[in-house]
Chain A
Amino acid sequence: MGAGTAGAAFDWKSPAMETRRARRYAADRRLQWYGIIAIALALGFLIFLIGTLTYSGYKAFVQTKAVVEIDLAGKEIDPSNLMAANWRGILRGELRNLVDDLPRSQEKSFFDIFTSSSHFIVRNTVIADPSRLGRKSAFEIPLSDPLDQLSKGEIDRETPADRRRVDDDQIRIFDDLKAQDRIIRPFNWELFTSYDSRFPELAGLRGALSGSFWALLVCFLISFPVGIAAAIYLEEFAPRNRTTDFIEININNLAAVPSVVFGLLGLAVFLGWFGLPRSAPLVGGMVLSLMTLPTIIIVTRAALKSVPSSIREAALGVGASKHEAIFHHNLPLAMPTILTGTIIGLAQALGETAPLLLIGMNAFISADPGGVMQPSTALPTQIYIWADSPERGFVARTSAAILVLLGFLLVMNAAAILLRQRFEKRW
């Protein structure tokens, strides 16, 4: 090798140099491959997850129903008091017309083909559309869970009768109805519009969606202003001493605390001391805001730090006070980043299950929760409840609910990314 003095040149083409260079390039390529493999693995797991969920859950997005003509003419129905009519009797009478000669012994298993609250469904349809009174019209009645599973091919007809959930008579009648073209499988809108139920064919996410919405709203309303105010204080007003350092360390640690602990806190303080109603989205929102707060504080501080100090100096130079410089200049410029971080924090809060379970948001709610103070469920806790349920129909619905939750997370994170791209570096 040359000694580096003026005029002495290195031999760049020597074999030793060539080998060395080749090894360096090889290291480059290896690094690239590591990256590709890592991404492939991550994507692979993601695809596997979504794939298995979709495979097990797609059937929950359709519901098997029977089309039954019901003639309401001549039935004892008081139009001014539709709730009081004998819908059960009316319905059963019409259903019997579907089969010839139904022996008494088979009656129960016949009516079990249809969901147990089918007469309420008929009643509600008529209440919604009173023109159906006095005439014959078609009603769509969901089948009960065992028949729903049969229709979707989940039940093997070959298994012995005593180990099957549907007996031979039910299968025969089902096939008959199918032959009459009475069996339809429309999209299961009830998954989104109905409340929870013991029966999978009737169960929906409406209560959970409402509970999650209220909880997230409360979370946002608490954590957003408090988080931003705390960050502004720490960034602009706090003196640089040990107390401030102590506060900062604790806020950063708060972001790492397991969510279960926040649930215990909510249980002890919000439910125990404050006496707030159990299972209410208000309490859920308060607990979630404790978790989102550190995220928002950290993001806001980083955003404020990244605003060029020249703008602040310019504002102060014109005679702006400290708060005017912050609110008229620093904060608006930092806002896009803050919003992005907030959306991501809220998306995380949406999926938190442990704290909500501890404050009781896994109540069984089969009617409208009605608001922030009423017992309610949330999406993740609803998934937890359904995952625990024995009925076959809930297996598919659990996966479907998970897909709905993932869908919301995707939308929220996509919104955050779009926001960030749109407002990147405006100065």
Chain B
Amino acid sequence: MNKMANVAMVAPAAEISASERTAKFRGRKVCVHYGEKQALFDVDLDIYRNEVTAFIGPSGCGKSTLLRCLNRMNDTIENCKVSGEITLDGENVYNPRIDVVELRARVGMVFQKPNPFPKSIFENVAYGPRIHGLVSNRAEMEEVVVTSLKKAGLFDEVRDRMDEPGTGLSGGQQQRLCIARAIAVSPEVILMDEPCSALDPIATARIEELIDELKQNYTIVIVTHSMQQAARVSQRTAMFHLGNLIEIDETDKIFTNPSNQRTQDYITGRYG
């Protein structure tokens, strides 16, 4: 499993045909209950390596719920029960023997509202590698931090103020800092929960560019309210409604010729 992951990250971004695609995440009959209420009903989907997969749908349809299952962030919610199977590279994510801390390092997350730590920019990015013990000395740490900030497209703007608090940056810069923070622990997957909903259009455009670059090295799953964003940024799109996965297909096909009437209604703005 690890060898496959390394090869996938090192290989250049050549066009991968549909037959060569390998599934990074596989979900089979995934159901999520919050206490008595069921939020997801028998979801089956595949998320492929080095692609951007978008989850779209009206509010309350369960897309964020499913996203948070992928890195087990739903564990933090009191009465949330997940049944069914979600596998990462063939291994069941909800297996009790899985190390949740390792899982969350391999599957990083960027949240809707930018939430940098109230520490310096350097410390924000360095925190992950430090607690996981990924670097052994100060020089290596600096290298990891600088590389992550460069990959997130933030380094040029903050190179002179690495010791200033992360909370002092603008909204778009903070979100890129959060992306850099997620990248610093060398994840395989980056989950993004409506990352641009709190940002202005220009910052949004920059992050969408960033996502496009990042997909060469990471698998990305993005939840978004904006269909235009999903169309611009993703290769595959999954449409959800009231906890059911209505349709999942190539983005082009979903937005030009969807198979399901509900998808058609949502896309054309008939509801949602």
* Chain A residues within CB distance 8 Å of chain B: 240, 308, 310-311, 313-321, 324, 328-329, 333, 426-427
Contact = CB atoms under 8 A, between A and B. Distances in A.
Contacts of B110: 317
25 contacts: A311-B118, A314-B117, A314-B178, A316-B76, A316-B104, A317-B71, A317-B104, A317-B182, A318-B104, A318-B105, A318-B108, A318-B127, A318-B128, A318-B131, A318-B182, A318-B185, A319-B101, A319-B102, A319-B104, A319-B128, A319-B131, A319-B185, A328-B131, A329-B117, A427-B118
A317 B108 CA distance: 6
Contacts of B115: 308, 310-311, 313-314
B78 interface: yes
Consensus secondary structure, chain B interface:
helix
A311 B117 CA distance: 6
Interface in B114-155: 115-118, 127-128, 131-132
Contact of A320 (B73, B101, B103, B113): B101
Contact of B118 (A320, A321, A333): A333
Nearest to A427: B118
A324 B109 contact: no
Chain B residues touching A, range: 20 to 34
A427 B111 CA distance: 17
Nearest to B113: A310
Contacts, number: 62
B105 A319 contact: yes
A319 B104 CA distance: 5
Contacts of A324: 131
A314 B131 contact: no
Contacts of B128: 318-319
B204 interface: no
B103 to A, nearest CB: 8
Contacts of A313: 73, 76, 111, 115
Contacts of A311: 115, 117-118
B167 interface: yes
B181 interface: yes
A194 to B, nearest CB: 50
Interface string B72-111: 0100101000000000000000000000011111001111
A318 B134 CA distance: 13
Given A313-B111, A313-B115, A314-B178, 14 more contacts: A310-B113, A311-B117, A315-B117, A317-B108, A317-B111, A318-B105, A318-B131, A318-B181, A318-B182, A319-B101, A319-B105, A319-B128, A320-B101, A321-B131
Contacts of B127: 315, 318, 320, 328
Contacts of A321: 101, 131
B167 A427 contact: yes
Contacts of A319: 101-105, 128, 131-132, 185
B65 to A, nearest CB: 15
A314 B116 contact: yes
A240, A317, A320, A427, most chain B CB atoms within 10 A: A317
A198 B128 CA distance: 66
A427 B116 CA distance: 10
Contacts of B78: 240
B125 to A, nearest CB: 10
Contacts of A310: 111, 113, 115
Contacts of A320: 101, 127, 131
Contacts of A318: 104-105, 108, 127-128, 131, 181-182, 185
B193 to A, nearest CB: 10
A426 B111 contact: no
A312 to B, nearest CB: 8
Which of A316, A318, A328 is most buried by chain B, counting CB atoms within 10 A of its CB?
A: A318
A240 B71 CA distance: 24
A318 B131 CA distance: 9
B70 to A, nearest CB: 12
A322 B242 CA distance: 32
Nearest to B181: A318
Nearest to A312: B76
Contacts of B113: 310
A427 B110 CA distance: 19
Contacts of A427: 118, 167
B142 to A, nearest CB: 18
A167 to B, nearest CB: 75
A319 B183 CA distance: 12
Nearest to B71: A317
Nearest to B129: A318
B251 to A, nearest CB: 26
